[in-house]
Amino acid sequence: MNTTSPTGTVLVCLSAYPRDLVESWVERAARVEVVLADGAPIGHLLPDLERADIVVGDAARRYPLDAAVLARMGRCRLLVHPAVGLDGVVDLAAAAAAGIRVVNAPGYNAEAVADWTLLAMLTTLRDGVGADRDLRSDGWHARPLGRELGAMTVGIVGFGAIGRAVHRRVRGFGARVLCSDPRPLTAADAEGATQVDLDELLAGSDLVTLHAPLTDGTRHLLNAARLAGMREGSVLVNAARGELVDEAALVDALRAGRPAAAALDVFATEPLPAFSPLLDLDNVFLTPHIAAGTEQARQRVRALVRDVIRAELDAT
Protein backbone atom coordinates (compact mmCIF):
# COMPACT_ATOMS: atom_id res chain seq x y z
CA MET A 1 0.00 0.00 0.00
CA ASN A 2 2.57 2.57 1.11
CA THR A 3 5.81 2.78 -0.78
CA THR A 4 8.32 5.45 -1.64
CA SER A 5 9.09 3.83 -4.99
CA PRO A 6 9.72 6.52 -7.61
CA THR A 7 7.62 4.49 -10.06
CA GLY A 8 4.58 4.48 -7.76
CA THR A 9 1.80 7.04 -7.28
CA VAL A 10 1.99 9.61 -4.50
CA LEU A 11 -1.26 10.90 -3.03
CA VAL A 12 -1.08 13.87 -0.66
CA CYS A 13 -4.19 14.55 1.43
CA LEU A 14 -4.44 18.04 2.91
CA SER A 15 -7.84 17.47 4.53
CA ALA A 16 -7.92 16.06 8.05
CA TYR A 17 -9.08 12.61 6.99
CA PRO A 18 -8.14 9.43 8.87
CA ARG A 19 -5.35 7.41 7.28
CA ASP A 20 -7.42 4.25 7.09
CA LEU A 21 -10.12 6.10 5.16
CA VAL A 22 -7.71 7.52 2.57
CA GLU A 23 -5.89 4.22 2.21
CA SER A 24 -9.20 2.44 1.61
CA TRP A 25 -9.69 4.65 -1.45
CA VAL A 26 -6.49 3.38 -3.09
CA GLU A 27 -6.33 -0.20 -1.86
CA ARG A 28 -7.17 -1.61 -5.30
CA ALA A 29 -4.20 0.14 -6.93
CA ALA A 30 -0.56 -0.92 -6.85
CA ARG A 31 2.24 1.10 -5.27
CA VAL A 32 0.37 4.11 -3.90
CA GLU A 33 2.01 6.15 -1.17
CA VAL A 34 -0.39 8.11 1.01
CA VAL A 35 0.91 11.26 2.69
CA LEU A 36 -1.27 13.07 5.24
CA ALA A 37 -0.78 16.73 6.08
CA ASP A 38 -1.50 16.15 9.79
CA GLY A 39 -1.66 19.90 10.37
CA ALA A 40 1.92 20.59 9.30
CA PRO A 41 2.73 24.07 7.93
CA ILE A 42 2.47 24.36 4.15
CA GLY A 43 6.21 24.95 3.93
CA HIS A 44 6.88 21.55 5.46
CA LEU A 45 4.55 19.91 2.96
CA LEU A 46 6.12 21.38 -0.18
CA PRO A 47 8.57 18.48 -0.74
CA ASP A 48 5.65 16.04 -0.72
CA LEU A 49 3.52 18.28 -2.91
CA GLU A 50 6.38 18.50 -5.42
CA ARG A 51 6.30 14.71 -5.89
CA ALA A 52 2.53 14.26 -5.60
CA ASP A 53 0.56 12.80 -8.51
CA ILE A 54 -2.80 13.33 -6.81
CA VAL A 55 -3.66 15.94 -4.18
CA VAL A 56 -6.78 16.10 -2.03
CA GLY A 57 -7.37 19.73 -1.06
CA ASP A 58 -8.22 20.97 2.40
CA ALA A 59 -11.95 21.24 3.08
CA ALA A 60 -11.16 23.45 6.09
CA ARG A 61 -9.33 25.96 3.85
CA ARG A 62 -6.11 25.89 5.90
CA TYR A 63 -3.90 25.16 2.88
CA PRO A 64 -4.53 27.60 0.01
CA LEU A 65 -2.97 26.36 -3.22
CA ASP A 66 -1.90 29.59 -4.86
CA ALA A 67 0.14 30.10 -8.02
CA ALA A 68 3.46 29.76 -6.19
CA VAL A 69 2.53 26.41 -4.64
CA LEU A 70 0.90 25.04 -7.79
CA ALA A 71 3.98 25.93 -9.85
CA ARG A 72 5.99 23.55 -7.68
CA MET A 73 3.53 20.69 -8.12
CA GLY A 74 5.17 19.53 -11.33
CA ARG A 75 4.04 15.91 -11.11
CA CYS A 76 0.46 16.56 -10.08
CA ARG A 77 -2.19 15.59 -12.59
CA LEU A 78 -5.31 15.71 -10.37
CA LEU A 79 -6.42 18.01 -7.57
CA VAL A 80 -9.64 16.97 -5.84
CA HIS A 81 -11.10 19.64 -3.57
CA PRO A 82 -13.75 18.26 -1.18
CA ALA A 83 -15.92 21.37 -1.13
CA VAL A 84 -18.04 23.47 -3.47
CA GLY A 85 -16.26 26.83 -3.47
CA LEU A 86 -12.72 27.16 -4.76
CA ASP A 87 -12.34 30.89 -4.08
CA GLY A 88 -9.31 31.61 -1.95
CA VAL A 89 -8.15 27.97 -1.86
CA VAL A 90 -7.25 27.04 -5.45
CA ASP A 91 -5.87 29.37 -8.12
CA LEU A 92 -7.72 27.89 -11.08
CA ALA A 93 -5.77 29.81 -13.71
CA ALA A 94 -2.47 28.64 -12.23
CA ALA A 95 -3.74 25.06 -12.02
CA ALA A 96 -4.74 25.15 -15.67
CA ALA A 97 -1.36 26.57 -16.64
CA ALA A 98 0.33 23.74 -14.76
CA GLY A 99 -1.84 21.13 -16.48
CA ILE A 100 -3.57 20.09 -13.26
CA ARG A 101 -7.15 18.87 -13.53
CA VAL A 102 -9.25 20.32 -10.71
CA VAL A 103 -12.39 18.58 -9.46
CA ASN A 104 -14.59 20.05 -6.74
CA ALA A 105 -17.79 18.75 -5.13
CA PRO A 106 -20.76 20.76 -6.41
CA GLY A 107 -24.07 20.01 -4.80
CA TYR A 108 -22.86 17.62 -2.11
CA ASN A 109 -23.92 20.03 0.65
CA ALA A 110 -27.13 21.40 -0.87
CA GLU A 111 -29.55 19.60 1.42
CA ALA A 112 -27.50 20.32 4.54
CA VAL A 113 -27.15 24.05 3.82
CA ALA A 114 -30.81 24.32 2.87
CA ASP A 115 -31.76 22.71 6.20
CA TRP A 116 -29.59 25.21 8.10
CA THR A 117 -31.15 28.06 6.12
CA LEU A 118 -34.62 26.95 7.15
CA LEU A 119 -33.43 26.69 10.77
CA ALA A 120 -32.07 30.24 10.53
CA MET A 121 -35.29 31.62 9.06
CA LEU A 122 -37.53 30.05 11.69
CA THR A 123 -35.17 31.00 14.53
CA THR A 124 -35.12 34.66 13.53
CA LEU A 125 -38.83 34.92 12.71
CA ARG A 126 -39.72 33.59 16.17
CA ASP A 127 -36.62 34.91 18.00
CA GLY A 128 -35.93 31.43 19.27
CA VAL A 129 -32.57 32.36 20.76
CA GLY A 130 -33.99 35.32 22.65
CA ALA A 131 -36.92 33.27 23.97
CA ASP A 132 -34.57 30.58 25.26
CA ARG A 133 -32.26 33.16 26.84
CA ASP A 134 -35.10 35.05 28.52
CA LEU A 135 -36.71 31.93 29.95
CA ARG A 136 -33.41 30.87 31.49
CA SER A 137 -32.58 34.29 32.93
CA ASP A 138 -35.95 35.92 33.68
CA GLY A 139 -38.39 33.02 33.95
CA TRP A 140 -41.76 32.55 32.30
CA HIS A 141 -43.19 35.74 30.77
CA ALA A 142 -44.88 37.05 27.64
CA ARG A 143 -42.82 37.56 24.49
CA PRO A 144 -43.39 39.70 21.38
CA LEU A 145 -45.36 37.95 18.66
CA GLY A 146 -43.38 36.18 15.96
CA ARG A 147 -44.12 35.76 12.27
CA GLU A 148 -45.07 32.70 10.22
CA LEU A 149 -42.80 31.62 7.39
CA GLY A 150 -45.78 30.85 5.18
CA ALA A 151 -46.88 34.48 5.34
CA MET A 152 -43.49 35.75 4.18
CA THR A 153 -41.97 36.56 0.80
CA VAL A 154 -38.58 34.84 0.58
CA GLY A 155 -35.90 36.20 -1.76
CA ILE A 156 -33.26 33.69 -2.86
CA VAL A 157 -30.07 35.20 -4.29
CA GLY A 158 -28.40 32.52 -6.40
CA PHE A 159 -30.64 29.77 -7.74
CA GLY A 160 -28.21 26.88 -8.03
CA ALA A 161 -28.42 23.56 -6.20
CA ILE A 162 -28.62 25.13 -2.74
CA GLY A 163 -30.98 27.92 -3.76
CA ARG A 164 -33.37 25.40 -5.35
CA ALA A 165 -33.20 23.18 -2.24
CA VAL A 166 -34.14 26.19 -0.10
CA HIS A 167 -36.99 26.96 -2.49
CA ARG A 168 -38.41 23.46 -2.13
CA ARG A 169 -38.44 23.83 1.64
CA VAL A 170 -40.00 27.30 1.94
CA ARG A 171 -42.53 26.48 -0.76
CA GLY A 172 -43.72 23.69 1.52
CA PHE A 173 -44.53 26.33 4.13
CA GLY A 174 -46.56 28.29 1.59
CA ALA A 175 -44.16 31.22 1.25
CA ARG A 176 -44.01 33.32 -1.91
CA VAL A 177 -40.56 33.08 -3.48
CA LEU A 178 -38.55 35.58 -5.50
CA CYS A 179 -35.18 34.63 -6.97
CA SER A 180 -32.26 36.46 -8.48
CA ASP A 181 -29.69 34.74 -10.68
CA PRO A 182 -27.42 35.92 -13.52
CA ARG A 183 -28.85 33.19 -15.77
CA PRO A 184 -32.28 33.71 -17.32
CA LEU A 185 -34.41 30.94 -15.85
CA THR A 186 -37.05 29.05 -17.75
CA ALA A 187 -40.35 28.34 -16.03
CA ALA A 188 -39.17 24.79 -15.42
CA ASP A 189 -35.87 26.03 -13.92
CA ALA A 190 -37.63 28.52 -11.65
CA GLU A 191 -39.92 25.82 -10.23
CA GLY A 192 -42.61 28.38 -9.37
CA ALA A 193 -40.31 31.13 -8.10
CA THR A 194 -40.47 34.57 -9.72
CA GLN A 195 -37.17 35.78 -11.16
CA VAL A 196 -36.45 39.47 -10.56
CA ASP A 197 -33.36 41.65 -10.44
CA LEU A 198 -31.48 41.94 -7.16
CA ASP A 199 -32.71 45.37 -6.13
CA GLU A 200 -36.34 44.38 -6.71
CA LEU A 201 -35.77 41.22 -4.69
CA LEU A 202 -34.29 43.17 -1.76
CA ALA A 203 -37.14 45.66 -1.74
CA GLY A 204 -39.82 42.99 -2.00
CA SER A 205 -38.63 40.25 0.37
CA ASP A 206 -39.24 39.69 4.07
CA LEU A 207 -36.39 37.17 4.15
CA VAL A 208 -33.34 37.39 1.89
CA THR A 209 -31.07 34.35 1.74
CA LEU A 210 -27.73 34.34 -0.08
CA HIS A 211 -26.55 31.34 -2.10
CA ALA A 212 -24.31 32.94 -4.73
CA PRO A 213 -20.65 32.08 -5.35
CA LEU A 214 -17.95 34.54 -4.32
CA THR A 215 -16.30 36.14 -7.35
CA ASP A 216 -14.83 39.54 -8.11
CA GLY A 217 -18.29 40.52 -9.33
CA THR A 218 -20.16 39.36 -6.22
CA ARG A 219 -17.78 40.54 -3.50
CA HIS A 220 -19.77 43.02 -1.35
CA LEU A 221 -22.83 42.30 -3.49
CA LEU A 222 -24.80 43.64 -0.56
CA ASN A 223 -23.23 46.98 0.23
CA ALA A 224 -24.56 49.83 2.36
CA ALA A 225 -26.88 51.10 -0.36
CA ARG A 226 -28.41 47.72 -1.03
CA LEU A 227 -28.82 46.94 2.66
CA ALA A 228 -30.67 50.25 3.03
CA GLY A 229 -32.95 49.13 0.20
CA MET A 230 -34.18 46.07 2.09
CA ARG A 231 -37.79 45.92 3.25
CA GLU A 232 -38.62 47.20 6.73
CA GLY A 233 -38.60 44.30 9.19
CA SER A 234 -36.64 42.07 6.83
CA VAL A 235 -34.15 39.36 7.76
CA LEU A 236 -30.87 38.59 5.99
CA VAL A 237 -29.58 35.00 5.96
CA ASN A 238 -26.08 34.13 4.72
CA ALA A 239 -24.66 30.62 4.53
CA ALA A 240 -22.69 31.18 1.32
CA ARG A 241 -19.62 33.40 1.71
CA GLY A 242 -19.04 36.16 4.24
CA GLU A 243 -17.61 38.55 1.69
CA LEU A 244 -20.83 38.63 -0.31
CA VAL A 245 -21.82 41.24 2.28
CA ASP A 246 -19.96 44.36 3.32
CA GLU A 247 -19.68 43.29 6.97
CA ALA A 248 -18.97 46.75 8.38
CA ALA A 249 -21.97 48.13 6.51
CA LEU A 250 -24.09 45.24 7.78
CA VAL A 251 -23.21 46.03 11.40
CA ASP A 252 -24.30 49.65 10.87
CA ALA A 253 -27.46 48.52 9.08
CA LEU A 254 -28.41 46.09 11.87
CA ARG A 255 -27.89 48.81 14.46
CA ALA A 256 -30.20 51.03 12.40
CA GLY A 257 -32.79 48.25 12.14
CA ARG A 258 -32.72 47.54 8.40
CA PRO A 259 -32.44 44.65 8.07
CA ALA A 260 -34.19 44.02 11.35
CA ALA A 261 -32.19 40.84 11.95
CA ALA A 262 -29.60 38.58 10.38
CA ALA A 263 -28.61 34.94 10.57
CA LEU A 264 -24.99 34.32 9.61
CA ASP A 265 -22.96 31.14 9.24
CA VAL A 266 -20.10 32.73 7.26
CA PHE A 267 -17.96 35.79 7.84
CA ALA A 268 -15.40 38.00 6.13
CA THR A 269 -12.75 36.67 8.52
CA GLU A 270 -12.92 33.12 9.86
CA PRO A 271 -12.75 32.17 12.65
CA LEU A 272 -14.86 35.17 13.63
CA PRO A 273 -12.60 37.46 15.71
CA ALA A 274 -13.47 37.76 19.39
CA PHE A 275 -13.70 41.54 18.96
CA SER A 276 -16.21 41.40 16.09
CA PRO A 277 -19.06 43.87 16.67
CA LEU A 278 -21.47 41.21 15.39
CA LEU A 279 -21.03 39.43 18.73
CA ASP A 280 -22.48 42.43 20.55
CA LEU A 281 -25.72 42.56 18.55
CA ASP A 282 -28.84 40.89 19.93
CA ASN A 283 -30.56 40.84 16.54
CA VAL A 284 -28.05 38.45 14.97
CA PHE A 285 -28.08 34.64 15.03
CA LEU A 286 -24.51 33.37 14.59
CA THR A 287 -23.08 29.91 13.93
CA PRO A 288 -19.45 28.94 13.17
CA HIS A 289 -19.63 27.89 9.48
CA ILE A 290 -21.54 24.69 10.23
CA ALA A 291 -24.33 24.85 7.63
CA ALA A 292 -22.83 22.01 5.57
CA GLY A 293 -21.91 19.99 8.65
CA THR A 294 -24.11 16.92 8.60
CA GLU A 295 -23.24 13.24 8.67
CA GLN A 296 -24.95 12.74 5.32
CA ALA A 297 -23.09 15.59 3.59
CA ARG A 298 -19.78 14.25 4.89
CA GLN A 299 -20.60 10.80 3.54
CA ARG A 300 -21.49 12.25 0.13
CA VAL A 301 -18.34 14.33 -0.26
CA ARG A 302 -16.04 11.54 0.87
CA ALA A 303 -17.70 9.15 -1.56
CA LEU A 304 -17.22 11.69 -4.36
CA VAL A 305 -13.51 12.11 -3.56
CA ARG A 306 -13.08 8.33 -3.39
CA ASP A 307 -14.76 7.76 -6.74
CA VAL A 308 -12.74 10.46 -8.51
CA ILE A 309 -9.46 9.10 -7.14
CA ARG A 310 -10.32 5.51 -8.02
CA ALA A 311 -11.31 6.50 -11.55
CA GLU A 312 -8.00 8.32 -11.97
CA LEU A 313 -5.99 5.36 -10.69
CA ASP A 314 -7.94 2.92 -12.85
CA ALA A 315 -7.19 5.01 -15.92
CA THR A 316 -3.42 4.98 -15.36
Query: Is 111 labeled as catalytic in the residue annotation?
Result: no
- What whole-number distance in Å separates Cα of residue 267 and Cα of residue 273? 10
Angle at 195 between CA 190 and CA 199, to 5 degrees: 150
Catalytic: 62? Answer: no
Which stretch of DSSP H or E encloses residue 199? helix 198-204
Q: How many residues does the chain have?
A: 316
Please tell me whether the peptide bond between 6 and the residue prior to it is cis, using omega within 30 degrees of 0.
no
Please pick, among 176, 241, 300, 302, the residue that the annotation labels catalytic: 241
Is the bond preceding 259 in cis, omega lying within 30 degrees of 0? yes
Catalytic one of 289, 298, 306, 310: 289
Sign of the C-alpha dihedral, residues 57, 59, 18, 272? positive
Nearest CA-CA partner of 225 in 249, 248, 197: 249
Active site residue 241: yes
Residues annotated catalytic, as ranges:
241, 270, 289
